[in-house]
Structure formats: structure tokens, C-alpha cells
Amino acid sequence: MKNYKSRAFTLIEIMLVVIIIGALAAMVIPRISGRSEQAKITVAKADIETLLATALKLYELDNGGFPTTSQGLDALVQKPSSSPIPANWNGPYLERKPLDPWGNLYVYESPGQHRLDYDLFSSGKDSKSEADNIVNWE
């Protein structure tokens, strides 16, 4: 008779593996959970400082000025029908209406209160508080 060794895991071995995986998850998950909010803030900053700023500068080059506050960022998607109507509008400068990572519209004012040309900001996660706003001035 041949002596066959058992090739199955024992209950203790399985429990040990589960405990190790649980301990690793307990250490890693809290560190990862805050990253999604940080990523949204980074995306909003990139939109404000690069994407929207470039589109607004192209609009200004074509039309001699920035869209008015009443025209807003919609002027980058479709030609404004309110005064002053841009004679050399060569858009769309953006493919769609710009939303921040939290699903809210970016706030645009021209002329700005903080800058001469325009103020552009996201109200952040909590649209009621100014503490988490992401802005284009400082």
C-alpha cells in the first residue's frame, strides 16, 4: 500500500489566512478612503487652471474680451445670444457644459471681484461653505 499524504488545507490554516487578510485590509482601507475626495479636488484645480482657462483665453482671442457674467461659461459651448454678441465666435470652445467633480456648475464672474479679468471657482463638496472652494485667485 502506498502512503498518500493529505493535500487539503486544515481549518487552522484557512483561519490564519483570513485573519492576515483582515488585518491587511484594516490597515489599507482607511488610507485609501480619503483619496477619492483628494482626487476630486485635484481634478477641479486642473479644470480651473488649465481646461477652462484655456477655453476662456481662446474665446478672448477670438472676440476681444471674456464672456460676461450673464453669458457665463455657456458662451464657451454655444454662441451667446445676449449682448454683447461676439462677432468672431469660433466655438465651441468646450464640448459640453463644464461641471465640477461633484456635479455642480463652476461659478464664473467677469469682471471678477478678485481678479480684473474673471473669477472662476468650484463650490467644492459642500456648496454652502466657502472653506472648501477651489478658486483661480490667491
Q: Look at residue 43 and tell me if it is in a domain.
A: yes
Q: What are the tens digits of pLDDT across the range 114-124?
A: 888 899 999 88
Number of domains in the chain: 1
Q: Is 57 among the domain residues?
A: yes
Evaluate whether residue 86 is within a structural domain: yes
Q: To which residue does cell 463638496 refer?
A: 125
Residue 17 lies in a domain: no
Residue 97 lies in a domain: yes
User: Which domain CATH number covers 54?
Assistant: 3.30.700.10
pLDDT above 70 for 85:
yes
**In this predicted model, what pLDDT tens digit does every residue of 11-64 receive, in sequence order?**
788 888 888 888 887 777 766 666 778 888 888 898 898 999 999 999 999 999
